[in-house]
Structure 1
Amino acid sequence: MGELVERVDLQDRVLGVVERGEAVRNRWLYRMSMVICRDAEGRYLVHRRPESSSRFPGEYSWLVAGAVEVGESYAAAARRELHEEMGVDYPVRFRFKFLCEGALSPYWFAVHEAVVEPQQIQPSADEVSWHGWLSGSELAQAVPRGNYVPDSREAFARYAELVAGERVPPL
């Protein structure tokens, strides 16, 4: 049996439990959660997916993301993904949620932030082939022009709007 997720409606209410592959094939809504990692200087973690990845091989992302498991909160999923993909455990702060059209299928996408210590990052080789840190202005230039996972570009545009009025970190 494949990965189980909660199928949800347009108001993010649970309709039932399905396999994620079935949700993708049928374009049923489910839940995804992600973390934007920043360091104390305000730089953003960026990583490249392995060529062997089943989803978006070799593409870059500035998000640590994954499906929300059955019965799991968005925040718990974000923190779990941070641990699974980057080998660290840090508190996450909710920023916003949006209905993402998705490159593979639509889903509710909850966006969180975590301030992490770069030297503690120990990426999983199954999830990350390279990682580095970009300033807000470097990230703002890289995402629209680079080979980034499509859903991370959509999240970036929404995040940039959100932080446009904030002072830290500038984009």
Structure 2
Amino acid sequence: MTAHETVDYVDADDRPVTRGPRGGAAARGLYYRVAATVCTDSAGRLLVYRRPPWAAVYPDHHDILIGGCPRAGEAYADAAARELHEELGVLATPRLVLHQPRPSPAGRCWLAVHVAEIQAPPSVDAREIAEHFFAPPADLLDHPPTPLVPEGRRVLAQLLARGIPLAPPDTRHLPPPTTRPT
């Protein structure tokens, strides 16, 4: 996404208030939206990637959250799927597992975290991803690559602590997404 794209600015309850350029919500005292996905492979390992050195936020940091801002009027799930296609070259149907307000380097946001299994090796966009690999979730908490984006580590710990499944879902037995931090 580029800075000239229009995004929704939302209130503390994630209700749209107005629209504007990416990066402008904080100046108006509002939140912006982020759709992110934790990707797994068929073995339940997580995709870890390193941001390029020219990234505006957390350059050269590792992360597990693939995503970005939904465009104005775009649903979180649609934005998550679009970002997976743009950054990894994969088609997937992300499943929402967390939805909560969070601080960020660009101001307050509503973060919608999804999980998706990716079948094929990703064909990454080198402008967005410098390198990538798969790792078991517990290894990422016990021995994380450094530096690691703090929010990615926090989300992973939260998912594991709540027992939210990271493997392909059996949708008949899924807990509802979390909407507020505990």
Q: Structure 2: which 5+ residue stretches go unaligned?
A: 169-182
Matched residue, 2:150: 150
Q: Is the 8 A contact 1:66 1:81 kept in 2?
A: yes
Matches within 5 A, 1:11-90: 11-26=13-28, 28-90=30-92
Aligned length: 166
Q: Among all aligned residue pairs of Structure 1 and Structure 2, give the percentage whose two residues are the same amino acid.
A: 31
Deviation at 1:150, TM superposition (A): 2.6
> Higher helix proportion, which one?
1
What is the one-letter code of the residue matched to 1:87? G
Q: Is the 8 A contact 1:103 1:150 kept in 2?
A: no
Q: What is the rounded CA distance, in whole Å, between the counterparts of 2:167 and 2:69 in structure 1?
A: 28
In terms of mean alpha carbon deviation, does 27-36 or 75-84 score higher? 27-36
Q: Give the TM-score normalised by the residue count of structure 2.
A: 0.83
Deviations 1:95-147 (A, max 9, x none): 1201111133110000111111252x10100100000000122122244x731
Q: Give the TM-score normalised by the residue count of structure 1.
A: 0.88
Q: Is the 8 A contact 2:23 2:106 kept in 1?
A: no
Deviations 1:58-110 (A, max 9, x none): 01101101001111000001000101111111111111201111133110000
Matched residue, 1:163: 163
In terms of mean alpha carbon deviation, does 98-107 or 11-20 score higher? 98-107
Q: Is the 8 A contact 1:103 1:151 kept in 2?
A: no
Q: Is the 8 A contact 2:141 2:153 kept in 1?
A: no
Query: Residue 25 and residue 50 in structure 1: after superposition, are their counterparts in 2 closer, same or farther (change >3 A)?
Result: farther
Q: Structure 1: which 5+ residue stretches go unaligned?
A: none
What is the one-letter code of the residue matched to 1:160? L
Query: Residue 24 and residue 131 in structure 1: after superposition, are their counterparts in 2 closer, same or farther (change >3 A)?
Result: farther
Q: CA RMSD in A?
A: 2.1
